[in-house]
């Protein structure tokens, strides 16, 4: 069993960090009104305003922010300002014991997938795959349901995903139960062959991505296949694959054809169309908790992520 962090209370302070790319400061500041509406206070990490090309400061600066927020008892949760690229660059330097001894809510997605996987493996910590402040919360398109999903941090709640949210498609039927892992497909594939390789054995695996054409999704899924990650899994929760249209549709397989090719004949439940990923609404979920995927009735039930 993974360690579930303590729930948030009104008045708690959360730490805001940028483990990957530099956030747009205007949008980040705009997102703070949402935190106020949740009754939360905040503190910025030291490198949140730093710009080092496509990184929010040096690797050491971003790493220090992560460590500082976990070590500070006044900080009750940690929200990522944006994704982009760069989380994996310092993953091998993280003090995972510090995190395990100071379990806290850790929230983000996309490039942050690498940290979710690493923390699950080496801190034994439940983390949260959810929309980020500067890139999602600050936008006018931020959906009411996306906002509502933050309530799972204040009260332990079982999450039920049904077609009331959006249509779902059965790729392969059946029912499977297991720990929910995964996230961004590109980041999962980039961990293969490292000590941060995702463990899919007996797990329900979430897959989502953005801006990857069908042939790119094909390449990433094939890498997971050859690493045994697809065969090991108990089932697949296929989230949103935004901006995946091929440049030349006449010379491309469709995204659906690619996903079906790799996942349909595994003899495991596979359901696609979940509004999880680079989409609105974005149904935020805890990773590292038990979940049940019913591929016949198109439902996903996820146990609470907080104590």
pLDDT, tens only, 191-208: 999 999 999 999 999 999
User: How big is the CA angle at 303 (ends 300 and 307), to the nearest 5 degrees?
Assistant: 155
Q: From CA 157, how far away is CA 275, in angstroms rounded?
A: 19
* CB crowding 3-37: b at 16 or more within 10 Å, else e: ebbebbeeebebbbbbbbbbbeeebbebbbeebee
pLDDT, position 20:
98
Model confidence over 46-79: pLDDT tens digits? 999 999 999 999 999 999 999 999 999 999 999 9
> What does the pLDDT look like over 121-136, one tens digit per residue?
999 999 999 999 999 9
The C-alpha angle 298, 118, 63, rounded to 5 degrees, equals 130
Looking at residue 297, its pLDDT comes to 97
Query: What's the whole-number mean pLDDT along residues 241-249?
Result: 88
Which residues partner with 235 through β-bridges? 204
pLDDT at 210: 97
How far, in Å, CA of 263 to CA of 85, rounded? 27
Strand segments (E) across the chain: 13-17, 41-44, 75-80, 105-108, 127-129, 159-161, 169-172, 175-184, 204-210, 235-242, 270-272, 285-287, 290-294, 299-302
User: Which CATH superfamily includes the segment(s) 159-302?
Assistant: LD-carboxypeptidase A C-terminal domain-like (3.50.30.60)
Residues 6+ apart with CB under 8 A from 205: 181, 182, 198, 229, 233, 235, 236, 237
> How would residue 276 be classed by pLDDT, with cut points 50, 70 and 90?
very high
Give the pLDDT of residue 251: 85
Residue 250 has pLDDT above 90, yes or no: no
Confidence of residue 221 (pLDDT cuts 50, 70, 90): very high
Mean pLDDT of 4-8: 98
Q: At what angle do helices 255-263 and 214-226 cross, to 10 degrees?
A: 10
List residues with catalytic annotation.
110, 208, 278
Distance, in Å, from the CA atom of 287 to the CA atom of 276, rounded to the nearest integer, reads 12
What's the rounded mean pLDDT across residues 247-251?
Answer: 83
**Structural domain 13-153, CATH architecture:** 3-Layer(aba) Sandwich (3.40)
Q: Which pLDDT score, from 0 to 100, does residue 245 have?
A: 86
Place of tokens 């009411």: 144
- CA dihedral (204, 287, 306, 160) positive or negative: negative
Over residues 95-105, mean pLDDT: 98
C-alpha distance from residue 268 to each of 156, 296, 303 (Å): 29, 11, 21
Taking residue 53's Cβ as centre, other Cβ atoms within 10 Å add up to: 9
Could you state, in order of their start, the residue ranges of all structural domains in the chain?
A: 13-153, 159-302
Spatial contact of 3 and 126, defined as CB atoms under 8 Å apart = yes
Instruction: Specify the pLDDT at position 240.
Output: 98
Instruction: Examine domains 13-153 and 159-302 and report if their fold is the same.
Output: no
Q: Is the pTM of this model over 0.95?
A: yes
Is the per-residue pLDDT at 246 higher than 90?
Answer: no
Q: What tokens does 184 get?
A: 């961004």
């Amino acid at each position: 069993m993974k360690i579930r962090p303590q729930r948030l209370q009104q008045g708690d302070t959360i730490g805001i960090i940028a483990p990957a790319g530099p956030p747009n400061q205007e949008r980040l500041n705009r997102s703070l009104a949402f935190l106020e509406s949740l009754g939360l206070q905040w503190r910025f990490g030291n490198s949140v305003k730093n710009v080092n090309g496509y990184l929010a400061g040096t690797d050491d600066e971003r790493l220090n922010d992560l460590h500082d927020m976990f070590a500070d008892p006044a900080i009750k949760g940690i929200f990522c300002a944006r994704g982009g690229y760069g989380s994996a660059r310092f993953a091998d330097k993280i003090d995972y014991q510090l995190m395990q001894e100071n379990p806290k809510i850790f929230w983000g997605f996309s490039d942050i997938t690498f940290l979710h996987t690493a923390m699950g493996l080496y801190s034994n910590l439940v983390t949260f795959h959810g929309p980020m402040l500067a890139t999602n919360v600050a936008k006018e398109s931020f959906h009411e349901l996306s906002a509502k999903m933050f309530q799972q941090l204040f009260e332990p709640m079982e999450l039920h995903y049904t077609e009331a949210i959006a249509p779902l498609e059965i790729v392969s039927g059946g029912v499977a139960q297991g720990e929910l892992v995964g996230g961004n497909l590109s980041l999962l594939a980039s961990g293969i062959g490292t000590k941060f390789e995702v463990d899919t054995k007996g797990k329900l695996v979430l897959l989502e991505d953005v801006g990857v054409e069908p042939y790119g999704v094909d390449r990433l899924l094939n890498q997971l296949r050859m690493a045994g990650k697809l065969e090991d899994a108990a089932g697949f929760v296929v989230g949103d694959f935004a901006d995946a249209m091929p440049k030349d549709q006449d010379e491309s397989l469709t995204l659906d054809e690619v996903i079906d090719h790799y996942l349909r004949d595994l003899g495991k439940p596979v359901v696609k169309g979940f509004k999880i990923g680079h989409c609105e609404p974005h149904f935020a979920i805890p990773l590292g908790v038990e979940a049940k995927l019913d591929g016949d009735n198109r439902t996903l039930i996820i146990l609470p992520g907080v104590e």
